[in-house]
Structure 1
Amino acid sequence: MRQMQALVASLVEAHRSRRLIDEAQASGLVPANADEAYLVQQLVLAKLGGCAGYKIGAGSPSAEPQCAPLPAHKVLGAAAGIRRADYGWIGLELEIAFSFADDVDQTFAERAEDALDAIDTMSVVVEVVDSRFAAWPNVDPLLKLADFQNNGALIIGDTRPYDRSFDFITPQVNFRCGEHTIASGRVHHGAGDPRRLVAWLVSRMLQTGRSIPARTLLTTGSYTPLYMANEPALVQGEIAGFGAIEFHIA
């Protein structure tokens, strides 16, 4: 328990001060298991304010997903942009996020699979990948999970009504940072259909007695390789037949 409390305190301080946790300190803070890492997420979130979203990911179509809450102050409209100085790293990933018009609560407990039919909107988003650990990415996976699974921010672009017929598995995309093309053409989602991640999160939340409030953004993993942005730049992303996103890194 003392070690877990130390990890929570270290992560909260790193968020607030933007001073990274050094490798020697991190080695003594590794959670015992995934359940403890998820508990650390919730305790850190409680210190930072409310939750405005979740990130969900899986390494393959058959892999068990993982998730992390997104602090409300780090879910941003594209017009706001971001500042390089606010992050240890700025990794960029182009994703799709979903939301519900109404709370997903215990009325879905016996029919979690119906939650997909309740999706109301989908958004083009960019996840900013960041870490509170100086040795990142060479950090224990359980520390990464505790640290909001390396989330720095979620930037929201075009939002439209949910279209269940859209090709979520292999869309056409264009994604640029400044003069660098990160991805262009048809891409494949690593988890298969990303909506399976939404269904998984709904089931997990209901099993733990929690709900997903209306308009909570559920971002579902990257369509593009992780790109590390080291300089101020204009970031532009487009998912064909869906929408676009554009914001500045200042």
Structure 2
Amino acid sequence: MENTAAQRAAEWLLAEHQAGHRFTTLGQPVTPTSISDAYDIQDRYVALLRRGGGETVGYKVGLTSATMQAFCRIDHPIAGVVLASRVHSSGARIRRSDFGRLGLEFEIAVRIKSDVPASKTAFTAEMIAPHINGVCAAIELVDDRAADYTNIDVRSLVADNSWNAGVVLSDFKPAWPDLEPLLGRATQNGDLIGEGHGRDILGHPFNSVAWLASQLASRGVTLKAGEVVMTGSVMKTIFPEHEAHYRFDLEGLGFVEVQVS
């Protein structure tokens, strides 16, 4: 996409957020006609967010299940950027009033140990594994701004930083069990609200990281040491409607908690 067009769209997105407007398909001032266009806008939108949000500290991967991809009429995941100011530690208190509509996604996060070198071929989980030195339970904060899911446009979603609004992380563990069968269970005020396994994230969470590395490489970017990757949710998104305590337990790995007010 032409630079000035992408910049206009990014500035419009920022204004929409600041005004508290509901999510709508990008049409004014610019319509992204491809996923590549959407990432061009995302790049510039994130650059605007960095002015008050600090540096990039990682990425999120979304639409990691076949069901969600079919729902959004796309055959691959999507990516967004995580900024330093949006990283919270387990036990954080989050206010619903700070979001258009807050959603919680219950995930496995990984920490990159060493820079992933550029590659002209697609990355695999086996290629990525040596570059990971930590795994933890995590909750992604998403802001869909009350989007109408019956008429969702994934290109507009991607342009809007794939709706990432923050992450809540537990302590990264330097050793972890087999992630494919790993059971994750989410509770609200102690009551079970959903569960899933590591295999629900593209078959294995490292497949998600490999997809991300390939996506970034296609845009001339690489994963860097110390960055965090939110690999995708093991269950459907939860949209809190009242004050509540949420906890996500990963069997044999640990848990993460967040208080929503």
Task: Please give the range of the TM-score, normalised by the shorter of the 2 chains.
Answer: 0.7 to 0.9
CA-CA distance at 1:103 after TM superposition:
2.4
Residue 40 of structure 1 corresponds to which residue in structure 2?
41
Question: Within 5 A, what are the aligned runs for 1:1-250?
Answer: 1=2, 3-15=5-17, 17=18, 19-21=20-22, 23=24, 26-28=26-28, 29-49=30-50, 50-57=55-62, 58-60=64-66, 63-106=75-118, 112-113=123-124, 114-132=127-145, 135-137=147-149, 138-163=151-176, 166-178=177-189, 180-184=191-195, 189-250=200-261
Cα deviation for residue 162 of structure 1 reads 4.2
Q: Which runs of 5+ in 2 are unaligned?
A: 70-74
- Alignment RMSD (CA, Å): 2.7
Partners of 1:183 and 1:37 lie apart in 2 by: 31
Q: 8 Å contact 1:30–1:140 — kept in the other structure?
A: no
CA 1:190–1:184 in structure 2 vs 1: closer, same or farther (change >3 Å)? closer
Aligned length: 244
Shift in alpha-carbon separation, 1:184–1:222, aligned structure 2, 3 A:
closer
**CA shift in 2, pair 1:238/1:196, >3 Å:** same
1:122-141, Cα deviation, whole Å (9 max, x unpaired): 11101122125x54434311
Structure 1: runs of 5+ lacking an equivalent: none
Q: Per the alignment, do residues 87 and 172 of structure 1 end up closer, same or farther by CA in structure 2, a change over 3 Å counting? A: same
Question: Partner of 2:144: helix, strand, or coil?
Answer: coil
Distance, in Å, in 1 between the alignment partners of 2:250 and 2:114 is: 26
Structure 1, 92-101 or 65-74: larger mean CA deviation: 65-74
- CA shift digits 1:12-42 (9 cap, x unpaired): 2244x2512564x844343111001011111
Q: Distance in 2 between matches of 1:136 and 1:99?
A: 33
Amino acid across the alignment from 1:41: Q
Q: CA, structure 1 residues 185+69, in 2 after alignment: closer, same or farther (shift >3 Å)?
A: closer
TM-score, normalising length: structure 2:
0.82
CA offset at residue 146 of structure 1? 1.0
Q: For residues 94-136 of structure 1, what are the alpha-carbon distances to aligned partners after superposition, in whole Å with 9 as ceiling and x for unaligned? A: 1001111222244x6679443322211011101122125x544
Structure 2 counterpart SS, 1:197: helix
Q: In the alignment, residue 189 of structure 2 is paired with which amino acid? A: G
Matched to 1:30, the amino acid is T
Q: If the length of structure 1 is used for normalisation, what is the TM-score? A: 0.85
